[in-house]
Amino acid sequence: MALDLTLLTTKADCDEALAGLAAELETYQHRNDNLDYAAGQADRSLGDVTARLAGVQAEIDSYTAMLNVPNMPASLKKQTESRLRRAHDRKDNLSERTQARTGSPAFLAAVDAEQVAAQVATLTGAQQAVATRKAALPK
């Protein structure tokens, strides 16, 4: 859709349009900053979760190896099995957290970021067109 710059008939109209575009652009730039911040937080959080997953997997491996020890006392075996179950539960919970940053939520976040970028480009182009129109108008 082309912008109908003929609607702006005076420099004051142009100034008003430029002020409105600047305010709208500022809104989208803040939104873009927030998306960048959220992405950074998610990356840091994902790194933390990945490290914790590795630690839990090491626990699971250790408990599994312990359960293979022959002649383990029954009380120690029961305690190790319980710890192994809890470690598996922690692993499942952490895995769910990493999945929240993939699939549909990650796709929708990318769509949101693209939408903001497109809107910023549209607003910036409109500002340039209005500024050009203003310069062409008589004093």
The pTM score is: 0.56
By percentage, how much of the chain surpasses pLDDT 90? 25
**Chain segment 89-126, per-residue pLDDT in tens:** 888 887 776 665 667 777 887 788 788 878 888 888 89
What is the secondary structure of 60-95 as a DSSP string?
HHHHHHHHTSTT--HHHHHHHHHHHHHHHHHHHHHH
pLDDT at 123: 87
**Chain segment 42-62, per-residue pLDDT in tens:** 777 777 777 788 888 888 888
At 8, the pLDDT band (50, 70, 90 cuts) reads very high
Q: Check: CB of residue 35 under 8 Å from CB of residue 117.
A: no
- Indicate the helix (H) or strand (E) that contains 31: helix 11-67
CA distance 58 to 47: 17
Mean pLDDT of 51-76: 86
Amino acid at 95: S
Burial of 29 (0-12, 13-18, 19+ CB in 10 A): middle
